Each structure stands twice: as C-alpha cells, then as structure tokens.
Structure 1
Amino acid sequence: MMKSLSLSERLGYAGLIPFVLIGLAVGIGVEGSAELFKLYSVLILAFMAGGCWGVEQANPEKIDNTLLALSIGAFLWGCIAYFLPINVAVLMLLVGFVLLLWIEANPLFKSAYEESYKKLRLILTSVVLAMHVFVFLSTNYSA
C-alpha cells in the first residue's frame, strides 16, 4: 500500500507544475512564456533562500555567517538574473538553485530537516534544474 504524501510533499510537487508547464510552453514557442518562466523561477529561488535564512535564524548557536550571506546572496543573484536576457538568466537561476542545495548540505540543515524532506528536495531540485536546462536549450537552439 502506498503511503500518502505529506502536505509539504504535495505542495512541493505542485510547485513543479508551473516549472514544467511554462517550460514546455517555452519549448513550443508560446509568446511571453520565457519571461513567465524566469519570473516564476526567481520567485521560487527567493522563497527557497528565505527558507534557508529561517533555518539559520532558528539556530543562532549554530549559525554560520558564510551560509547566511550565501542565502541572501542567492536571493540577490536571482533578482539580478530577472533583469537579464533569458539565456543568461536561466543559467544564473540554475546556479542559484544549486547553491541553495549546497547550503542545505551543511550539518545545520542535516539536523533541521527530516530525511523525507531531504529526498523530496533533491527530487524537486533535479526537476527544476532539468527544466532550466530545457529552457536554455529551447531559447538558444530552437528553429
């Protein structure tokens, strides 16, 4: 029998739907879809960076100033990416998501997150990164 998904898992997977649908729209050339993909990506990157900030703030005795600065930096990186052409922005945003995943590999996060969330996060980020690569290829190598 399958275990039912937690609310975090359902919301996480639901958050992938816009990445996939908008990314596919970019692939088939729907007007405005590349800008919408970029916007959604920036918003999710900012949300995830805020989550890292929250974990760090909730554990002041274990806080690492470098990780704190990198969390803020990921948010600012995404803001800058928003104002750049899509082919540059999607690569920058991809780097931002990888940076957040790297931050979450720190022992502070390993103790803050349950194993099921770590697995979920890896799955979600993998799909997000794949969609960024797809959008990059679609916007640079389409006919």
Structure 2
Amino acid sequence: MTTHPAQLARLGHGLTVADAMDLCNYQIADDSTADRANDILRSAHVAFLLVRDHDGRCEGLVTRTGLHSFLTRSGSERTAISSTSHQRGPFAWPTLNLALASLAMQIKHLTLWPVVDDDGYILGVLTADRAAGLLAASPV
C-alpha cells in the first residue's frame, strides 16, 4: 500500500510530534569522550544520550551500541563523541505531523528521533513506540 501526503494528513487527526515527544534530561557535549558517555549511560541507566555542539544545538544521538567499537579499542578515553558512529540529523520538529514523522522513522529504521526547535536546540525525543501508540489510539 502506498501512502500519499494527503492520506497522512488525515491520519492522527492533527497529532504532531509535540504531542508525542518525551523530554530528554540526558545530554552530552560533542567534545566529551566516548568513555564519559559510556559512564553516563551506565550510571543513569539510559539507552541513549542526545549530543549537543559547542553552541548547545543538537548534534545527534549516541547509544551504547554506537559507542561499542570505540570503547573496545585503546585510546577510547581520548575519542570524542563527535568522532563516533552516532545518529545525526536531520531531526524532527515539534509541529511535524505525527503520522508523517512515524512514517519517516520507519523508512529510516529509527526507534528514536531527536526533536529540535527552529534554531536547532534540543526539545526532546520522539520514540517509535510512543508515536505508534498515539496513532493507534487516535480515531480515524
């Protein structure tokens, strides 16, 4: 089945990413080390960290899986997050139609998608599970 933009607009009855996003309290600077990111992931018991650049704008998202190859080699204490394999933009924005965002996440095989404002600052994160749950609960 092919879904067209007009069909997507009807799905979810106007739900947007802002309706589904979660706040994310765990962030790390892109010049922090892979070891530091791993320490935060473990101590906070979280699956991901949002990465911000030197201006505080969203740079991407890092997970333990993305850090694994950098942590297993020597010198990881000097490897900056910006040099690791992490999810980078483009990112979702809060006014994006939730059905369209969900479709984009499916196409890009994303389970998490950072949400940013017009200036690129982190607002939160959209999870595929939350988006799917809200869309399934929304009357069509």
**TM-score of the pair, normalised by structure 1:** 0.31
Which structure is higher in strand share?
2
Which structure is higher in helix share?
1
**TM-score of the pair, normalised by structure 2:** 0.31
